[in-house]
Structure 1
């Protein structure tokens, strides 16, 4: 006998949990293939409580692993498709700089060479003359500086909105204010129940819940063969520092590159990234943050939005020393979530009718429109996502990203 909740539940072939960059991508690609899809979001798409809000994320090719360089190249083609389909520019060109004794610019250049990605290796003196707003000579070690012009700044919120709109146009249903409380086996699939007692019956479920994933997995029927590794949720801090020069202020004109490049610095004392802050803070400064500089929390439910004062001091000290083009007094600050998986890798894996999509560790945004393709390939049975992203066997052994 079918339970009353199942008789009244909405039905779809696929239920996608989470309307951030990953979930909206999955919903778009599945709907694009003519599949029946319901996208379930606890708040609104690109919620400020999640990891996909705002206008400033880095798109870059520079990885020490050639596998990931190739994956970024695949993602760039997907971004081109998304921008053409939506009629919006979602990546603003900026170029990117990589420097610091731990960053290994020459090693990164070798990985870029493997995929023919345009780049230059510069001396610190050459880089300083080209970008005087940054200081490249603050370390004792004489490391080089890597420049690759194909990098850019992703409008994360705009990208989510574009993919959700395309998913709806292709027939997907979108439910906002729909917080998933449990995912249980049911006849011919799964019953997804909300915190208010609503229900959706789906043949398959894709969970792209970001920082809520650890808590949600506890309420999900998953086969014992689906060995989800330990997940680590961090409440990170980001600060916006004003430009010293009026020439760097103001919104980037349509079709133009940003006035500053993005950058990643990894030294012995601190690892920092920076990028033009965009509309997140009035186009008046650079967004700068310490990589993995926040505090560990149990899940997204435990975030409090409180800036860590010690982290503010570390980042401000970095800005004072390494970015002479910025005033070292932040005019805006915020927290955000990183959901980290082992080896700073990603999880795109499936057991029975449950697919876990956790493309996090602070690197997921650049792959956003590609995730849906990888998920579709996985649920359709081709398995192109491959062994690299399987959950089983992953353990926490960090490598530089």
Structure 2
């Protein structure tokens, strides 16, 4: 069997991943109410760190309190938030060599919601645990919601400063990589899309203007994070809605942010509007990654209903993307990389405590 491309190393800036399987950021809604990690994060992340993947990215972490999706979101805006991640990261690193990144985020108009298992409805400022949301423009995600406040100059500065301070905290924590969240209808995506951004100043209107604030946030975060560590971005390649953000605009944005030193782009889609109409299926977002990869030199990560080893191998081997990301699939099967390596005749890292689990028919599977 030819060498697997999925299990070949990949460079993201100055960081070398042992393989091309990325654990995507996945919100856990299990912080302490003030944005700080709990023992759930130690358990959850510790398990994923034993999966054999090439990179683990911590969930979307709010850069300011009002940037949380829910009151129980993880944050990285305070000394307490930073201190709470110290033992979590120490536990991961004690037992796993896997690089660890973090996704920095602001939910914008999609903030202040109930937990998903409580229905996920918006919490208005009048309700307990709710707060006033902010956005590029005073437009709601769906017609029944409480409108956000359009960010003024001071609000824009507060958001940008939040990303800067969170990037500094991530650097102090020894985190290996930062991913900015510019996807799924959250704040940076809201600036990009003409469906959510109808500003009449330098941050709205033309494509150049709508890209301006996300690019400024990238520049500011990149400037304070260690130069040898990668900073990337996750994007939604399309809003799946007429008149919205689309692949052509995403390619223009990808080129612009690559020129500013972005180390990779992680390609998802949707999340901006309640009227989106998604055509989903296995690998349904891979064509977006392929189109973007054809236009840029930086590595491209594909995500979305990638479930089978052969499918993941084909995406990387044919050049549709440089890596694949797993989210719900790796929650369902936290040893997916082990199983993929066995299927593809590759090697994968395993802790010595697990070496006895290696099936006899896969005698060269584990690289302890």
TM-score clears 0.5:
no
Largest Rg, 1 or 2: 1
Q: Which has the higher helix share?
A: 2
Q: Which has the higher strand share?
A: 1
TM-score normalised according to structure 2 size: 0.29
TM-score normalised according to structure 1 size: 0.27
